[in-house]
Amino acid sequence: MPWTSVPIASVVNLDHPAHYLTWGWLSISVPNLLVILLMIAVFVLAVLLPFPKDRDGS
């Protein structure tokens, strides 16, 4: 294993097929669900977080 991939591999083992969550007809992989949840979080933060003001403070 190249040394550059050791830190990532030590946190999350990605060397296997993704886990799937199933509710009836709906089936989604855990990585895809995480990405969607992350996008929703970014969207909410983009709406709520204040935008930096100009350098002159106006």
Partner 1 sequence: MTATLPATGAPETPEGGPESRMWTARLRRAWVSKLPPDKLLPDRQPAYVASWIYVFGVLTIAAFLVVLASGLVLAFTGPAWYHTSSLGHFTNSTHFWSVQLFFVFMVIHLWGKFWMAAWRGRRWLTWLTGGLCFLASLATAFTGYLIQTNFDSQWISFEAKDGLNAVGIGAFFNVANLGQTLLIHACLLPLVVGVITVWHVLLVRRRGVVPPMEAVPPHGAVPVAVPAAVATSGEPTVTSEESGS
CB of 56 to partner 1, least distance (A): 8
Which residues are paired to 21 by β-bridges?
28
Q: Does 42 bind partner 1 (CB under 8 A)?
A: yes
CB of 39 to partner 1, least distance (A): 6
Q: Does 53 bind partner 1 (CB under 8 A)?
A: yes
Q: Does 51 bind partner 1 (CB under 8 A)?
A: yes
Q: Which residues contact 51 (CB under 8 A, 6 or more apart)?
A: none
Residue with tokens 């669900």: 33
Question: For partner 1, which residue of 18, 34, 35, 37 counts as binding (CB under 8 A)?
Answer: 35
Give the dihedral of Cα atoms 43, 49, 55, 58; nearest 10 deg.
120
